[in-house]
Amino acid sequence: MRKRENKNWWLVWVAMCCLSFTTQAVPLAEDIPVSSITISPSIDTLFLGQKLTLTCKFLPVNATQKSVFWISDDENVATVKAVNDSMAVVTAQSKGVVTILATTEDGLFLNARLKLIVDDFYDKVFLIDSISYRMSREEALAVDVVGFIETTHLIIPDSVKILDDLYSVKSILLEKGKTLKKKLAALSVPSTVKRILLREDCIGKNFSVYVSDLEAWCHTDFEGEYPDSVAIYLNNKLITDLDIPGSYGYLGRAVFVNNKNLRGVNIGEGVTSVNAYAFAGCSNLERVILPKSLKEISYGMFRECKNLRGVDIGEGVTSVNAYAFAGCSNLERVILPESLKEIPDGMFEDCENLKHINLPQELQNIGSVAFSCTGLKEINLPKSLKMIGYGAFSHCNNLVSVIVPDSVNTLYSTFVGCDSLQTVVLGEGLKTIERSTFGYCTRLSEIYIPAGVTKIDQKPYAATIGYEYWGPCEKVRAIYGCRNLQRVVVSPDNKYYSDIDGVLFDKGKNDLLYYPEGRTSVKYDVPEGVDTIASYAFYYVKDLKSIHLPTTLKIIGYRALPGSLTAIMSQSMNPPERNYLGIYSLYEGAVSSGVEWYVPLGAGDRYKMAYGIDVIETSLLNVDMVDGDEKELRFYMLPDGRLSVSGVLVDTIIEIYSINGRQIYKGIAGDIPYLGQGLYLVKIGDETCKVII
Among 587, 517, 585, residue whose Cα is nearest residue 557? 585
- How would residue 633 be classed by pLDDT, with cut points 50, 70 and 90? low
Among 321, 539, 413, residue whose Cα is nearest residue 109? 413
Q: What is the pLDDT of residue 2?
A: 40
**b/e 179-203 (16+ beta carbons within 10 angstroms → b):** ebeebbbbbebbebbebbbbbeebb
For residue 166, pLDDT over 50 is answered with no
For residue 22, pLDDT over 60 is answered with no
- How would residue 3 be classed by pLDDT, with cut points 50, 70 and 90? very low
pLDDT tens sequence across 529-555: 999 998 889 988 999 988 999 999 998
Q: Give the CA distances from residue 67 to residues 25, 102, 255, 603, in Å, rounded to whole numbers and listed in that order.
A: 24, 9, 36, 44
Q: Which residue has the higher pLDDT, 558 or 635?
A: 558
Beta strands at 45-47 and 111-119: parallel, antiparallel or unpaired = parallel
pLDDT tens sequence across 175-191: 222 334 456 677 777 78
Ramachandran quadrant class, 249 (left: phi over 0; alpha: psi -120 to 50; beta: rest): left
Q: Which residues contact 642 (CB under 8 A, 6 or more apart)?
A: 671, 672, 673, 674
Q: What is the pLDDT of residue 616?
A: 83
Q: What is the pLDDT of residue 16?
A: 40
Q: Give the CA distances from residue 268 to residues 248, 504, 661, in Å, rounded to whole numbers and listed in that order.
A: 9, 58, 89
Give me the residues paired with residue 54 across strands.
Answer: 88
Q: Which residues contact 612 (CB under 8 A, 6 or more apart)?
A: none
* Encoded amino acid at 159, one letter: S
The percent of residues in the chain predicted with pLDDT above 90, rounded, is 46
Q: What is the pLDDT of residue 46?
A: 78
Among the ranges given (118-132, 250-264, 610-624, 652-666), the one the predictor scored with the smallest mean pLDDT: 118-132
Q: What is the pLDDT of residue 142?
A: 46
Q: Cβ(362)–Cβ(386) under 8 Å? A: no
Ramachandran quadrant class, 341 (left: phi over 0; alpha: psi -120 to 50; beta: rest): alpha
**Looking at residue 672, what DSSP letter applies?**
B
Among 543, 516, 511, residue whose Cα is nearest residue 527? 511
Mean pLDDT, to the nearest integer, of 417-428? 94
Instruction: Report how far residue 249's alpha carbon sits from residue 244's, in angstroms, rounded to the nearest whole number.
Output: 9
Among 625, 609, 508, 608, residue whose Cα is nearest residue 566? 625
Q: What is the pLDDT of residue 617?
A: 82
Q: Which residues contact 473 (CB under 8 A, 6 or more apart)?
A: 460, 461, 462, 463, 467, 535, 557, 558, 581
- How would residue 150 be classed by pLDDT, with cut points 50, 70 and 90? very low
Mean pLDDT, to the nearest integer, of 333-349? 95
- How would residue 607 be classed by pLDDT, with cut points 50, 70 and 90? confident
Q: What is the pLDDT of residue 103?
A: 92
Phi, psi of 93 (to 5 degrees): -110, -45
Q: Cβ(115)–Cβ(78) under 8 Å? A: no
Q: What sign results for the dihedral spanned by CA atoms 129, 132, 136, 139?
A: negative
pLDDT tens sequence across 206-260: 888 889 899 999 999 988 788 899 999 999 899 999 999 999 999 999 999 999 9
Q: What is the pLDDT of residue 357?
A: 93
Q: Which residue has the higher pLDDT, 477 or 377?
A: 377
Mean pLDDT, to the nearest integer, of 143-162? 47
Q: Cβ(634)–Cβ(628) under 8 Å? A: yes
Q: Which residues contact 269 (CB under 8 A, 6 or more apart)?
A: 246, 291, 292, 293
Q: Which residue has the higher pLDDT, 142 or 657?
A: 657
If DSSP codes are grouped into helix, strand and coil, which group holds residue 521?
coil
- How would residue 205 be classed by pLDDT, with cut points 50, 70 and 90? confident
Q: Which residue has the higher pLDDT, 683 or 101?
A: 101
Domains of the chain: residue spans and CATH: 36-119 (2.60.40.1080), 240-340 (3.80.10.10), 341-430 (3.80.10.10), 525-617 (3.80.10.10), 629-692 (no CATH)
Instruction: Report how far residue 122's alpha carbon sits from residue 133's, in angstroms, rounded to the nearest whole number.
Output: 10
Give me the residues paired with residue 154 across strands.
Answer: 187
Q: Cβ(133)–Cβ(163) under 8 Å? A: no
Ramachandran quadrant class, 158 (left: phi over 0; alpha: psi -120 to 50; beta: rest): alpha
Among 303, 338, 299, 300, residue whose Cα is nearest residue 317? 338
Q: Cβ(547)–Cβ(565) under 8 Å? A: yes
Give the containing element (helix H, strand E) for 319.
Answer: strand 319-320
Beta strands at 229-234 and 237-238: parallel, antiparallel or unpaired = antiparallel
Q: Cβ(256)–Cβ(281) under 8 Å? A: no
Q: Which residue has the higher pLDDT, 127 or 108?
A: 108
Q: Which residues contact 16 (CB under 8 A, 6 or more apart)?
A: none
Q: What is the pLDDT of residue 120?
A: 66
Supply the mean pLDDT for the chain. 79
For residue 637, pLDDT over 50 is answered with yes
For residue 275, pLDDT over 80 is answered with yes
Among the ranges given (64-68, 621-625, 641-645), the one the predictor scored with the smallest mean pLDDT: 621-625
Among the ranges given (89-103, 178-192, 339-353), the one the predictor scored with the smallest mean pLDDT: 178-192
* C-beta pairs of 413-422 under 8 Å, 24+ apart in sequence: 413/107, 413/437, 413/439, 414/388, 415/439, 415/441, 416/107, 416/391, 416/440, 416/441, 417/107, 417/441, 418/393, 418/394, 419/443, 421/396
For residue 294, pLDDT over 70 is answered with yes
Return the number of other C-beta atoms located less than 10 Å from residue 335's C-beta. Answer: 11
For residue 121, pLDDT over 80 is answered with no
CA atoms within 13 A on the CB side of 551: 4
Return the number of other C-beta atoms located less than 10 Å from residue 135's C-beta. Answer: 13
Q: What is the pLDDT of residue 502?
A: 96
Q: How far is CA 104 from its chain centroid?
A: 6
Q: What is the pLDDT of residue 645?
A: 66
Q: What sign results for the dihedral spanned by CA atoms 620, 625, 627, 633?
A: negative
Give me the residues paired with residue 566 across strands.
Answer: none
Whole-prediction pTM: 0.66
